[in-house]
C-alpha cells in the first residue's frame, strides 16, 4: 500500500509532494500552488466517487497547523437584500478591502473613487498592486446603480468579477517583476477550479446577466468566456465572510481550500484569519487518508443538508449511521468540537463558546481600528 501511495502521490526521497508534470492535467495550475509549499503534509488526489480531494502524505497528529489558504477574489454584500437583513438601527462594522479584517469604526483609509477602504497603508498598497485602479470606477458605478434590473446577488457577483479580472491584468503587467503576494492564488489557478456546470434556465440567465453587468462597467477588462466559468465556480468554491458578530457580510473564493471535501464528522477544521483560512487537524489522520472539513452548521436534514448548496448527498458515518461508537461517539465529538452556532471547530473555540454562551468563531478577526 505504501509503495502504491508513493506512486500515486509521486513522493520524493524527502517525503515531500512533487507535482507530476503532465500536460494532460487540467488542474495543474491549482495543484502547483499546493506543491510549492515548503512543508507539504497533503496532496491532491482523484478519489473514487468523490472527484478530487486532498489526502495525507504522512501521519498527522491532532492539533497540527497544516496550511494557510489565501483568498483569490472577494465581494461584500453591501446591497439591500432581505436575505442579509440585520436588526433595525444596528450599526455594522466595516471590513478592510485587502486583509478582510473587521473594525467597529470606519476604516481609516478610504478610496476616493469607490466604497473600498483599508485599515493600513500596507493594505492599500496591496490592493493597488492587485489592480484596484482598474476596477475602481466599475465598482463605484455598480454600487451607485438605482435600477432593480439586476438583483443584489448579481450586482455582488459582478463586483467579484471586476476584482478578479483586475487581478489578472495586474498579474500580466508584473509577471516578470513581482512575486506573488502572501502565496495568493493567481487568476490561472482560480480558473483551473472551474468545472463545466449544467445550469437551469434561470441560473444560466442570471449568470449571463452578471457577466453582462461586469462587461458594461469594464468591457475591455472582462473576458466573457472566462467570466462565465468564474461565475460557475464562485458559488461552489467560495466561503462566507462573517463579521465579528457572526453576520454573513460577503464571500471570498478559495481555490485551494475548496478542494477539501465535506464530512459531517471531519478530521480538520478551518479558521478565518483575515483573508486566510487556517487548516488544522482535530483527530489523528493516517497516511493516505482523506482530509475533510464540515461545510454545514446543521445536521437536521441529514445527508440532504448538502444537496441544494453543493449538489451531493453526504454519505459520511454521521449521515449513514455507521459510527463505530454509535450515538455516544457522535455526542462525544459534538460536545468537544461543536460551537453554539453549529459549526465544527477546534476544541478550544468550542469550549470558549460553551463558557460564554455565544459563538466566538470570528471574534478574533478584527483590527484595532
Give the model confidence (pLDDT) of 244-261 as tens digits.
888 889 999 998 898 999
pLDDT given for residue 103 in this prediction: 86
* pLDDT, tens digit, 9 for 90 and up, residues 277-293: 999 999 999 999 999 99
From the list 223, 246, 241, 243, the residue with the least C-alpha distance to 94 is 243
Return the exposure string of 189-218: e unless at least 16 CB atoms fall within 10 Å of the residue's CB, then b. bbbbbbeeeeeeeeeeebbebbbbbbbebb
Give the Cα separation of 341 and 353 in Å (integer).
9
- Residue 55's contacts (CB-CB under 8 Å, 6 or more residues apart) are 9, 42, 43, 45, 47, 288, 289, 290, 291
* pLDDT, tens digit, 9 for 90 and up, residues 27-54: 555 454 454 454 579 999 988 888 889 9
Give the Cα separation of 139 and 266 in Å (integer).
38
pLDDT given for residue 108 in this prediction: 87
pLDDT given for residue 10 in this prediction: 39
pLDDT given for residue 89 in this prediction: 52
Instruction: Kindly report the backbone phi and psi dihedral angles of residue 303, in degrees, each rounded to the nearest multiple of 5, phi listed first.
Output: -65, -25
Residues of the chain with pLDDT under 70: 1-39, 79-91, 174-183, 193-202, 307, 367-369
pLDDT given for residue 254 in this prediction: 92
pTM for this entry: 0.82
Give the Cα separation of 54 and 279 in Å (integer).
12
- How many angstroms separate the Cα of 274 from the Cα of each of 70, 71, 100, 246, 271? 9, 9, 5, 14, 10
238-242 and 248-253 beta bridge pairing: antiparallel
Give the Cα separation of 1 and 6 in Å (integer).
9
pLDDT given for residue 19 in this prediction: 30
pLDDT given for residue 182 in this prediction: 57
Give the Cα separation of 81 and 83 in Å (integer).
5
Give the Cα separation of 95 and 242 in Å (integer).
10
pLDDT given for residue 82 in this prediction: 39
pLDDT given for residue 195 in this prediction: 56
Amino acid at each position: 500500500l505504501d509503495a502504491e501511495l508513493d506512486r500515486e502521490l509521486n513522493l520524493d526521497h524527502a517525503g515531500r509532494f512533487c507535482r507530476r508534470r503532465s500536460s494532460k492535467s487540467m488542474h495543474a495550475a491549482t495543484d502547483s500552488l499546493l506543491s510549492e509549499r515548503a512543508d507539504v503534509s497533503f496532496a491532491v488526489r482523484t478519489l473514487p466517487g468523490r472527484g478530487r480531494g486532498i489526502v495525507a502524505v504522512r501521519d498527522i497528529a491532532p492539533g497540527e497547523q497544516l496550511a494557510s489558504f489565501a483568498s483569490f477574489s472577494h465581494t461584500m454584500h453591501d446591497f439591500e437584500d432581505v436575505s442579509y437583513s440585520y436588526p433595525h438601527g444596528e450599526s455594522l462594522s466595516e471590513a478592510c478591502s485587502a486583509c478582510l479584517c473587521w473594525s467597529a469604526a470606519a476604516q481609516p483609509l478610504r478610496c476616493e473613487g469607490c466604497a473600498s477602504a483599508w485599515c493600513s497603508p500596507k493594505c492599500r498598497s496591496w490592493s493597488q498592486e492587485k489592480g484596484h485602479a482598474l476596477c475602481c470606477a466599475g465598482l463605484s458605478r455598480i454600487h451607485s446603480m438605482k435600477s432593480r434590473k439586476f438583483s443584489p446577488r448579481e450586482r455582488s457577483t459582478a463586483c467579484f468579477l471586476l476584482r478578479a479580472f483586475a487581478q489578472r491584468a495586474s498579474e500580466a503587467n508584473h509577471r516578470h517583476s513581482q512575486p506573488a503576494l502572501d502565496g495568493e492564488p493567481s487568476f490561472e489557478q482560480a480558473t483551473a477550479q472551474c468545472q463545466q456546470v449544467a445550469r437551469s434556465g434561470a441560473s444560466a440567465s442570471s449568470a449571463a446577466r452578471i457577466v453582462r453587468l461586469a462587461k458594461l462597467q469594464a468591457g475591455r477588462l472582462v473576458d466573457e468566456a472566462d467570466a462565465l466559468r468564474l461565475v460557475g465556480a464562485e458559488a461552489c468554491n467560495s466561503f462566507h465572510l462573517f463579521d465579528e458578530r457572526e453576520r454573513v457580510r460577503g464571500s471570498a473564493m478559495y481555490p485551494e481550500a475548496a478542494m477539501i471535501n465535506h464530512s459531517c464528522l471531519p478530521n480538520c477544521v478551518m479558521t478565518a484569519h483575515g483573508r486566510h483560512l487556517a487548516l488544522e487537524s482535530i483527530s489523528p489522520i493516517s497516511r493516505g487518508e482523506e482530509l475533510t472539513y464540515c461545510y454545514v452548521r446543521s445536521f437536521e436534514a441529514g445527508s440532504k443538508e448538502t444537496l441544494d448548496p453543493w449538489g451531493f448527498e453526504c454519505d459520511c458515518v454521521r449521515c449513514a449511521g455507521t459510527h463505530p461508537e454509535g450515538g455516544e461517539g457522535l455526542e462525544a465529538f459534538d460536545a468537544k468540537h461543536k460551537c453554539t452556532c453549529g459549526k465544527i471547530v477546534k476544541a478550544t473555540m468550542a469550549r470558549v463558546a460553551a463558557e460564554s454562551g455565544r459563538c466566538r468563531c470570528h471574534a478574533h478577526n478584527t483590527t484595532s481600528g
